[in-house]
A and B are shown apart, each in its own frame.
Chain A
Amino acid sequence: DTGVSQNPRHKITKRGQNVTFRCDPISEHNRLYWYRQTLGQGPEFLTYFQNEAQLEKSRLLSDRFSAERPKGSFSTLEIQRTEQGDSAMYLCASSGPGRAGYGYTFGSGTRLTVV
């Protein structure tokens, strides 16, 4: 299966701890996106990459959040000093080169619970 893979599926952490999530996109996809989804809301854009370059960051991405995509392959999203408000589902998606509007594929997400 060559879908988008996210690890871990679930993470419970204590407030103040750091957490890191990983996303492995579809191998030929050059764009990778991170979204956050809280209960009862739609996914909200956090940041995205084209290859290894981070093209855009949402204002939702506070200084405690950092994302990387070394070598343009997998990506990591780190949250430092977690707060209870960070509890959410973190979704990753990827899309390939070619015509715009095609090929967004989402992973199953990482559900973060901050206690």
Chain B
Amino acid sequence: AQKVTQAQTEISVVEKEDVTLDCVYETRDTTYYLFWYKQPPSGELVFLIRRNSFDEQNEISGRYSWNFQKSTSSFNFTITASQVVDSAVYFCALSEANSGNTPLVFGKGTRLSVIA
């Protein structure tokens, strides 16, 4: 069975600090996709990144970066120089890839508060 664990329930940082959100996943599939979503107070889920299981290259997008390590089944997310607008709940999610888009399995989320 698939499972996503986000051990950090809440994190508070001061603006401009770097912060890393942890994600550990479990799956028996060899082909899968990993995602990060942001959920601001307004409630909608905002897509941040998608990574397939065959691509372990780290990715950087502006202040965001992602570290995918299959050896430890982790897909961690780092925000550099955090800003107040980064305050939100962040979800890591996993889907199989064997037969099209199977339903996403989400972690419980990490609530990030960035204090000015």
Q: Are B109 and A45 in contact (CB under 8 A)?
A: no
Whether B44 pairs with A103 at a CB distance below 8 angstroms is no
Q: Would you call A43 and B45 a contact (CB within 8 A)?
A: yes
Q: How far is the CA of A101 from the CA of B99 in the complex (A)?
A: 10
B103 CB–A CB distance under 8 Å: yes
Count of chain B residues with Cβ under 8 Å from any Cβ of A? Answer: 31
CA A103 – CA B45 in complex, angstroms?
Answer: 13
A104 to B36, CA, bound (A): 12
> Which chain B residue shows the least CB distance to A103?
B101
A48 to B100, CA, bound (A): 12
Which residues of chain B (82-116) have a CB below 8 Å from chain A?
A: 91, 93, 95-109
Instruction: Tell whether A31 is near chain B: CB-to-CB under 8 Å.
Output: yes
B33 at the interface (CB under 8 A from A): yes
Q: Which of A17-25, A79-87, A89-97 contacts B (4 or more CB under 8 A)?
A: A89-97
The answer to whether A108 has its CB under 8 Å from any CB of chain B is yes
* Bound CA span A40–B101, Å: 26
With a cutoff of 8 Å between Cβ atoms, the chain A residues found around residue B76 in the complex are: none
Question: CA–CA, A73 to B4, complex, Å?
Answer: 31
Q: Which residues of A contact B37 (CB under 8 A)?
A: 106
Is there contact, CB below 8 Å, between B105 and A100? no
Closest to B42 in A: A108
* Complex contact A106–B45 (CB within 8 A): yes
| Nearest opposing residue in chain A for B91, CB measure | A42
**Complexed CA–CA distance, A109 and B100 (Å):** 24
B70 at the interface (CB under 8 A from A): no
Listed by A's residue number, 25 A-B pairs whose Cβ atoms lie within 8 Å are A31-B101, A33-B104, A42-B4, A42-B6, A43-B91, A43-B106, A45-B105, A48-B103, A50-B100, A56-B103, A91-B45, A95-B101, A100-B33, A100-B96, A100-B99, A100-B100, A101-B50, A102-B50, A104-B35, A104-B95, A107-B44, A108-B42, A108-B43, A109-B43, A111-B43
